[in-house]
Structure 1
């Protein structure tokens, strides 16, 4: 399959190799019948002789071809030729979700939720048709240039050098997204796919994986034993509704996960609504797996009570009477003389870190609330307190819990970039998550690269540094034009025509010395005889360029 001209079934012409997966090589090809680009997955020759691998390859073809959904890669054709088994599918221009995360890191919550809604919609369609993907991970998710998500690789469940962690019908893919029950050898289910979706959501929001390790088995054990880290520990500005979705998707006990991907889709659809941003955090009970055997100690037989003597009974009765009288006296005293509350002024903790403020408050008998509001500020450094509730110096009872707001960093303030060079502005916006949309405008008055106009993001706009933005900058560029035919035109008019378009013009008058009287009489003076570059040429006006007009 390495030759550019190789054909399959006299229809699909191989153009180039796109990559390789665990079982197959993928090629870009041209469907010569319908004149369209397609992707062709070809099972490797050494694997096609293995009935198990061949069955898995055919399972992918059967599974995906049974589905028709805008978020699932479409299958066009399946076949075998010359011992090579292949699947012809939709060619998706774009990149994998893994590549997107590697390039951009953590995505803002709006974009992450939008991608997840598409992903869930596609997986939900598969589940409705009785198909479990078994290997949901960013490497198997394609993102088109317009942002459309496409799920690929249905049914391929083995990888080269991968450790087999499950039974035959369970996922054999990446352990980073593997549900605990699959890691224990149980069959994959809808809830297994939902667990993988939760891990993908976590990765979109943090740019990293919740569990890592040196070996696949180590990572699998973490999925079975350890909780998924809080996504809000990475980004405290995320609403609890998002944290709850990840928690409910990745809870160890699958019976506590979403009952269906449809319910997960519904939750994603509303998670950014204002009413849900401050919802209570969902906490699941112990993740002891249903059906697991719990070993407990044997219950010891109760010893027979010894007979109590009459004296012991009398003494116990007297003692209980004394305790009752003492308790009654204490209650009367407490009701008649209520203690006056001790008051203390709230110290100035603005500008402190959380740890410093807690220590300061505890020194005067107050506590610091763990319910912290994180907000962007104009001039307060990340991690420092900028607001205190109740206000500093307010007299409160000892033991009162004090609430604070902590800076989540400074806003990025957009400057006025007009008149500055584009290279300078590019450096200023580096690592600011701002995409520059560049437009060029021919201009002879400004130096090439000078910014003429600024749109979308305007001066003094305040931006959240964790979000993605776009700015449109129009820069001065060289004059570009096709030279008109000026032969026979008045030389002064021709020069004016070109100069009005920003072209530098040279005039060269040809000598008539040595011409006969007859030749001189035939000359038309003051008109263009010749021009260089010639008429019809594509011309770019730069510092050293000019157009020369020749005349008598």
Structure 2
């Protein structure tokens, strides 16, 4: 956008993004003095009535919504032929970027995000608005973990006019409900399907269906089962997988009736009594007498591996009698197989499993988690190791490595943090008193002091550091020894003749012998007047230590001269 001021109010600062229809800028609202995001319809689409109507539809849909998990709309308008929407500026990243950076999220975090998404979807559906493009790219994550749903660009009021047939399948193909791929009208269940796919991606780090072309992905959504979340991420309980199975059922009649039902399920899915509930199973009969039409699937910037394709699967008329007999036989066989399966006769036994990620857990929690997967934590062979950042008692590494395929019943070895390591300072060349002060922060370090005669190193300076040398790693929670060898201090005898000398001469004499001197006025408050009259001004009256006694000059010590 060439003009950096919109309507004389919004000062454009920088361009931050681009979508299929619009550019997004950060701007300053000069009236309210706040940062805002401004979405501007691309110039080449401003003359396209359908694009303009879609853009206005987003504005209308968004302004009617008020919810903590939906981005706020502040202003809508047109300036010099440019249609724009002014909205809340959310600092952070979108959910797709978060997944790309971190991979699969832990189940608690994923459930929390889904609760917020469902809450936002409930608000939209209660207002009669179907989003139709729910995907991680349209979910912003604030730094405090709050999420904001954005981009109602193809949202449609339930009673609104459908602009084109492709409107029904404009959403990103990776999150496309089967009925939308067939060209049917979007419903609340279409958004619920997309929520289920987003939940899947949060827990696995990837979408369930991928292919070279968009039409192939759309066909997968119509005919293929969603891969098991638990096979990819064994830490996911059955209660969570059941939510995904129900939300992504091919037959929308099997899905949650509304987003509130899904939210209610999310609120209890982490309870202990639900972890091992029975797996949901939904069948989806194919409608063989209907032509499945996949109109041109719109390619978005996120679907980089896909090509827009218009494809119609041709309809062939089949004599019903050709298939009645075989179909009945198949149904009978299927029924028998089903009965045998639920009785356990034909249920294939799983013999291998991937090692789950138990890093960061304590041994007890990890042992319980492994037992649920029929794996054994070898508690007799635990290795303990100091680390730079892992708290004491938490697992650092696993053998075999995480995601390695192992036999059921295999033993898993772990390395556990014995504490966060400290690194010893270098005290050589420092004063002994300084080293002692610094070592006070390690109460478990026992200091051994050794003096040594040295003609090269000043008295009181550390010559060598032993047992715990400079930069050596140690456990501050365990008793440890350090030996500090320092240059021997000077020992003198306080001269007898110092008493009666002037304080200037006495100070010079003691300093010449290597002693530090401190002058102090004698307290005469307890003396009689006669005693005070016998005192001479500026003359040494007494010393501490007393004259004739030995004195060792150490750091911070002094010979105190008292005078009147």
1:59 aligns with 2:57: yes
Unpaired runs of at least 5, structure 2: 157-163, 292-316, 325-349, 354-370, 383-398, 426-436, 442-468, 479-564
Q: Which moved more, 1:376-385 or 1:228-237?
A: 376-385
Match of 2:35 in 1: 37
Q: How far did residue 296 of structure 1 move?
A: 6.3
Q: Answer yes or no: is 1:109 the counterpart of 2:107.
A: yes
Tell me if 1:274 matches 2:272. Answer: yes
1:384, CA displacement in angstroms? Answer: 4.1
Q: What is the distance in 2 between the residues matched to 1:95 and 1:421?
A: 40
- Could you tell me how far apart the structure 1 residues matched to 2:257 and 2:470 are? 60
2:382 maps to 1:377 = no
Q: Displacement of 1:264 after TM fit?
A: 0.5
Q: Distance in 2 between matches of 1:182 and 1:421?
A: 65
Cα displacement string for residues 387-443 of structure 1 (whole angstroms, at most 9, x for unaligned residues): xxxxxxxxxxxxxxxxx6556x65562342231499xxxxxxxxxxxxxxxxxxxx9
CA 1:15–1:242: 2 relative to 1, 3 Å:
same
TM superposition shift of 1:45: 0.9
1:39, 1:91 within 8 Å by CA — same for their partners in 2?
A: yes
Q: 1:83 to 1:444 in 2, by over 3 A?
A: farther
What's the secondary structure of 1:72's corresponding residue? Answer: coil
1:401-420 alignment, distance < 5 Å: 405=409, 413-420=416-423
Matches within 5 A, 1:104-183: 104-156=102-154, 167-183=165-181
Cα distance in 2 between the residues matched to 1:299 and 1:218: 29
- State whether residues 252 and 287 of structure 1, in contact with CA within 8 Å, keep that contact through their aligned partners in structure 2: no
SS in 1 for 2:273: helix
Distance 1:406 1:284, change over 3 A: farther
TM-score (norm 2): 0.56
Q: 1:59 to 1:50 in 2, by over 3 A?
A: same
Q: Note the alpha carbon deviations across 1:195-223, whole angstroms, 9 max, x for none.
A: 11111000000001100011111111111
Corresponding residue for 1:298?
321
Residue in 1 that maps onto 2:208? 210
- Conserved? CA contact 1:372–1:405, under 8 Å: no
Unaligned runs of 5+ in 1: 159-165, 302-351, 356-370, 386-403, 423-442, 460-552
Inter-CA distance 419–46: structure 2 relative to 1 (3 Å threshold): same
| Counterparts of 2:54 and 2:471, CA distance in 1 | 56
Q: 1:248 to 1:209 in 2, by over 3 A?
A: same
Counterpart Cα distance in 2 of 1:271 and 1:177:
23
* TM-score between the two structures when normalised by the length of structure 1: 0.57
Secondary structure of residue in 1 paired with 2:123: helix
Aligned residue pairs, count? 344
Question: Any idea what the Cα deviations from partners look like across 1:29-84, whole Å, max 9, x if unmatched?
Answer: 00111111000000011101100000000000000110000000000000001001
Alignment of 1:503-518 (within 5 A): none
- Does the C-alpha gap of structure 1 residues 182 and 419 become closer, same or farther in structure 2, counting only changes over 3 Å? same
Contact 1:377 1:410 survives alignment (8 Å): yes
Please report how far the alpha carbon of residue 238 of structure 1 lies from its aligned counterpart in structure 2 after TM superposition.
Answer: 1.4
2:239 pairs with 1:241: yes
In structure 2, relative to structure 1, the CA distance for the partners of 1:450 and 1:218 (3 Å cut) is farther
RMSD between aligned alpha carbons?
Answer: 3.6
Shift of 1:287: 3.8
Q: In the superposition, relative to structure 1, how do residues 453 and 24 fare at CA in structure 2: closer, same or farther (>3 Å)?
A: farther
3-state SS, counterpart of residue 17 of structure 2: strand
Q: 1:233 deviation in Å?
A: 0.7
Distance 1:290 1:240, change over 3 A: farther
Contact kept, 8 Å, 2:118 with 2:262, in 1: the verdict is yes
CA distance in 2 between partners of 1:205 and 1:420 (Å):
38
C-alpha separation between the residues in 2 aligned to 1:256 and 1:278? Answer: 21
- In structure 1, which of residues 274, 280, 283 is the aligned counterpart of residue 281 of structure 2? 283
Aligned 8 A contact 2:21 2:41 in 1: yes
Retained in 1: the 8 A contact 2:69–2:149? yes
Aligned match of 1:186? 184
Q: Distance in 1 between matches of 2:228 and 2:95?
A: 22
Quick one: structure 1 residues 184 and 113, their matched pair in 2 at CA, closer, same or farther if it must change by over 3 Å?
same
SS of aligned partner of 1:279: coil
Query: Corresponding residue for 1:223?
Result: 221
Partners in 2 of 1:176 and 1:299 — Cα distance? Answer: 36
Distance between the aligned counterparts of 1:177 and 1:283, measured in 2? 21
CA distance in 2, matches of 1:405, 1:126: 48
Query: Deviation of residue 450 (structure 1)?
Result: 10
Partner of 1:197: 195
Retained in 1: the 8 A contact 2:209–2:220?
yes
Alpha-carbon distance in structure 2 between the residues aligned to 1:449 and 1:62: 64
Look up the match of 1:263: 261
